[in-house]
Amino acid sequence: MRWIHIGIRDLTITVRDKASIGILIAMPMILIVILSSALGNLAENLGKTAIGVVNLDRGRIGGEVTDGFFKDGQLTKLFAAQRLNTPEQARELVARGDLAGALIVPEDFSRNLNNGRASELTLLTDPGREIAGVVTRSVAESLSIRVSSASIAARTAAFYALRLPVKNPAIINATIGKAIQSARETGTIEAVALDERTAAKGEEISQLAYYSGGMSVMFLMFGAMFGAFSLVRERDNWTLPRMLMTPTSRVEILGGKLFGVFIIGVVQFAVLYGFTSAIGVKWGDPVALALVALSTVCAATGLSVFVAAVGKTVRAVSGLAQMIIQFMAAVGGSFMPVSVFPSWLQPVHYASVNGWAIDAILNIMRGSHAVSVLPNVAALLFIAALFFGVGAWRLRWE
Amino acid sequence: MSEAAQQTPATPGGEIVVVTNLVKRFGTHAAVDGVSFSIREGEVFGLLGPNGAGKTTTISMISCLLAPTEGTVSVDGALTTKEPMRVQGILGVVPQEIALYPTLTAAENLKFWGRMYGLHGQLLEQRVAEALDLAGLADRAKERVETYSGGMKRRINIAAGILHHPRLLVMDEPTVGIDPQSRNHILETVKELNRRGMTVLYTSHYMEEVEFLCDRVGIMDHGRVIALGTIDELKRLVGDENVITVRVETLPDGVLDALRALPDVDSVTVSEGESEGAEEVDADEVASEGASIQVLSRDSGAVVADVVGVLGRAHARILSVDVREPNLESVFLHLTGKSLRD
């Protein structure tokens, strides 16, 4: 049972090292709060497209078009719209980059529509903000169709109503009103349908929740790398050779070191789980999460043995560990969602511990249970076995 | 005595360690090259040699840390390659480096190392207290090792190796880089452990320590044991030759030949600065560094005056003259033509 004493000793040394505690516990807490606050606002702002609306129409229909940006629940989620007085003002704000686009309703918009003439809405866009422009154009077209439909419906209804044997104006007006309403509702249903197609499935994940998962996984990797440092440092400081000169086998020594790293990882995740839960993160099914957390710690621990084997000195281990952690954090989604990566880069996240772990954690946060994250758990355990095997094989003891 | 020792009573004078034709190569370099010696139960055996002589590699193979390239080591009849765990249970090792955990206290360090030797419970507590007493650090047991002086760390380093009462204590240069007071404490500790029945293998490049402690000595150089025996046996290798060491500021041309031509002079060597023996140096180097001339002679009383006379006539400015009777230093000088500290 010497391995237990080796693990406990490593735990004691880690706990006494204030810098280690800072890196393993305090840093992720701070980063979770900072990143979720800063990037959370940024994402919210980026999510709403700032547009300007200029309504020069003397009639009623122009108001109906532009009101959509302020009153329609779906559109207010997409757009941060502001009313402007003149086309020049709109042009200036778009040119300056303050607005992604501006919709201008001309003076004779209602009159032209009522008289059956074509009318034109003007959309000013910023060529540098292509996506925002496309979204604005799409919505503007949708609103135009809606208004046009209403106008055509009204005129068509009036045309046929006047040819009906009914002479009661109330009935005629009611018929025309129903046609307009029907046309408007049809347009509205189309707009909503578009929105629903792009909506995310399941529970919405806040920035805070996202970074709680991303940072926890990244700092679990840092924690595991302390194991790699510890192995190499012990080799350099002669405590490892000294252990090898006692009646303690290499299996016990390596087992003890891994036990220490594993416990540090579990404690670290538990503390971060407690902290983030206290500030409102809903992690989801605890059983599924425990499976993912434990397999992530295993993978990180295996990786630490590999790093200790490849890095011959503390400096080499430090450089290699930094490189691996930052690469895995970047491609695995610790800093930003993999979904924003270009399509060619997205599959690379499966080459990282972070990718498999964060993918599983996000699914759990969305409501998945243990069975659905088993593939991720299996992948993490495979990574653990692979790195541990190669590392243990190549580890230099003396 | 260790648990193993209590089960198998020591046989005074019997061989506890037998090293036979031991070779260790790192690539093409032979760090240990055909070493053979044995250590008797109850003695203090010294391995003396300069840095790089192969002492640490030899004891690393005895301690099962390194596997021999060739040859065998048996400890109490067990081959290190076949029964390493049994051998390691018999040994206590004090490495040259301070192999302790600086952020743990002395007591925590000792408890950890005791557990690595299989001690636990009340026995462990008792042994830790005993080791702290022996190290003279019982009153500072709860302080972190990082706060200790170099000498105190060395004492705890030794204490960690004797917790399990090993039959054979292997000590690799345990006094490197410490103050004279701590060195004396360590030397007295080794004597005391030996008095209690512990066999000690002690490596050092300080001949004074080896002379003070050891019953028998193996002198190593370039991976080989070049001489082996008791202190007296080794001293007899140089007969009654004394070493006359003269430090000069300059070394005029031809003076060494003049010294070698003196009657009763057996050999003359010279080195730069204050070190003794070793390579011959040219006049330019001597002019900047000074030189030490070692003259071996059986009649130092008569020769010293002749040596000083030769140097005076050659206008070599003499800084100091020292005459020593045979010791391990002169044995090493006699055998290798260089100083132990080179």
Q: What is the pLDDT of residues A321-354, one digit of tens each?
A: 989 999 999 999 998 888 778 878 888 989 999 9
Indicate if B252 and B227 belong to the same structural domain.
Answer: no
Task: Supply the pLDDT for residue A188.
Answer: 40
The residue-averaged pLDDT of A140-166 equals: 61
Task: Supply the pLDDT for residue A112.
Answer: 80
At residue A44, does pLDDT exceed 50?
no
Least confident of A176-185, A237-246, B285-294: A176-185
- Tally of domains in chain B: 2
Residues from chain A contacting residue B85 (CB–CB below 8 Å)? 247, 249
Indicate if B262 and B305 belong to the same structural domain.
Answer: yes
Q: What's the whole-number average pLDDT of chain B?
A: 87
Indicate if B247 and B105 belong to the same structural domain.
Answer: no
Task: Supply the pLDDT for residue A180.
Answer: 58
ipTM of the complex: 0.80
Measuring CA to CA, how many Å separate A88 from each of A45, A53, A84, A92, A127?
25, 12, 9, 6, 18
Does residue B156 lie within any of the structural domains? yes
Indicate if B227 and B259 belong to the same structural domain.
Answer: no
Kindly indicate whether the domain formed by A48-198 is annotated with CATH number 3.30.310: no
Mutating which of A14, A246, A250, A396 best tests the B interface, going by the most B Cβ atoms within 10 A? A246
Task: Supply the pLDDT for residue B9.
Answer: 41
Strands B70-75 and B224-230: unpaired
Indicate the residue among B236, B257, B289 that finishes a domain. Answer: B236
Minimal CA–CA distance to A296: which of A358, A232, A244, A208? A358
CA B250 from centre of chain: 33
Indicate if B189 and B264 belong to the same structural domain.
Answer: no
The domain ranges of chain A are: 2-42+205-394, 48-198
At residue B130, does pLDDT exceed 90?
yes
Comparing alpha-carbon positions, the chain A residue that sits nearest to B111 is A5
Contact B306, B262 (CB under 8 A): yes
> Is residue B12 classed exposed, middle or buried when 0-12, 13-18 and 19+ CB atoms within 10 A define those classes?
exposed
Does residue B70 lie within any of the structural domains? yes
Indicate if B213 and B268 belong to the same structural domain.
Answer: no
Does residue B334 lie within any of the structural domains? no
Q: Which helix (H) or strand (E) holds A93?
A: helix A87-96
More confident residue, B219 or A342: B219
Task: Supply the pLDDT for residue B41.
Answer: 94
Indicate if B282 and B187 belong to the same structural domain.
Answer: no
Q: Is A4's Cβ below 8 Å from some Cβ in B?
A: no
What helix, strand, coil percent values describe chain A, rounded to 5?
75, 5, 20
Does residue B321 lie within any of the structural domains? yes
Indicate if B29 and B171 belong to the same structural domain.
Answer: yes
Indicate if B155 and B266 belong to the same structural domain.
Answer: no
User: Is this model's pTM higher than 0.95 or not?
Assistant: no
Indicate the residue among B215, B236, B257 that finishes a domain. Answer: B236
At residue A190, does pLDDT exceed 50?
no
The DSSP secondary-structure symbol of B332 reads H
Residues from chain A contacting residue B60 (CB–CB below 8 Å)? 241, 398
Measure B334 CA to nearest chain A CA, in Å: 35
The backbone torsions φ and ψ at residue A249, rounded to the nearest 5 degrees and listed phi first, read -80, 160
Indicate if B184 and B37 belong to the same structural domain.
Answer: yes
At residue A191, does pLDDT exceed 60?
no
Indicate if B40 and B141 belong to the same structural domain.
Answer: yes
The CATH number assigned to the domain holding B167 equals: 3.40.50.300
B103/A13 touch (CB, cutoff 8 Å), yes or no: yes
pLDDT, one tens digit per residue, over B270-319 is: 876 544 444 444 444 444 467 888 888 888 788 889 999 999 898 888 89
Comparing alpha-carbon positions, the chain B residue that sits nearest to A3 is B116
Mutating which of B66, B69, B75, B101 best tests the A interface, going by the most A Cβ atoms within 10 A? B101
Does residue B332 lie within any of the structural domains? no
B118/A9 touch (CB, cutoff 8 Å), yes or no: no
A244/B64 touch (CB, cutoff 8 Å), yes or no: yes
Q: Is B134's Cβ below 8 Å from some Cβ in A?
A: no
Residues from chain A contacting residue B89 (CB–CB below 8 Å)? 247
Minimal CA–CA distance to A257: which of A273, A235, A289, A274? A235
Number of H helices, E strands in chain A: 16, 4
SS3 for A139-176 is: HHHHHHHHHHHHHHHHHHHHHHHHHCCCCCHHHHHHHH
CA angle A174, A176, A182 (to 5 degrees): 100
* A87 vs A81: CA distance, rounded Å: 15
pLDDT, one tens digit per residue, over B51-86 is: 889 999 999 999 999 999 999 999 999 999 999 999
B89/A247 touch (CB, cutoff 8 Å), yes or no: yes
The CATH number assigned to the domain holding B290 equals: 3.30.70.260
More confident residue, A199 or B204: B204
What is the residue type of A233? R
Task: Supply the pLDDT for residue A272.
Answer: 93
What is the residue type of B234? L
Does residue B74 lie within any of the structural domains? yes
Of residues A5, A237, A247, nearest to B97 (C-beta): A237
Task: Supply the pLDDT for residue B339.
Answer: 67
What is the residue type of B33? D
Q: Is A165's Cβ below 8 Å from some Cβ in B?
A: no
Contact B332, B339 (CB under 8 A): yes
Partner B, chain A 257-316, Cβ-Cβ below 8 Å: none
Measure A3 CA to nearest chain B CA, in Å: 9
Task: Supply the pLDDT for residue A42.
Answer: 47
Residues from chain A contacting residue B100 (CB–CB below 8 Å)? 239
Question: Is the backbone of residue B81 left (phi > 0), alpha (psi -120 to 50) or beta?
Answer: alpha
Task: Supply the pLDDT for residue B177.
Answer: 82
| Structural domain containing residue B278 | 240-325
Of residues A9, A17, A245, nearest to B63 (C-beta): A245
Indicate if B203 and B145 belong to the same structural domain.
Answer: yes
Task: Supply the pLDDT for residue B283.
Answer: 47
Record the tokens describing residue A182, joined without a space: 């029907």
Least confident of A60-64, A281-285, A317-321, B216-220: A60-64
Does residue B101 lie within any of the structural domains? yes
pLDDT, one tens digit per residue, over A77-125 is: 777 788 898 888 888 877 766 677 888 888 888 888 777 677 777 888 7
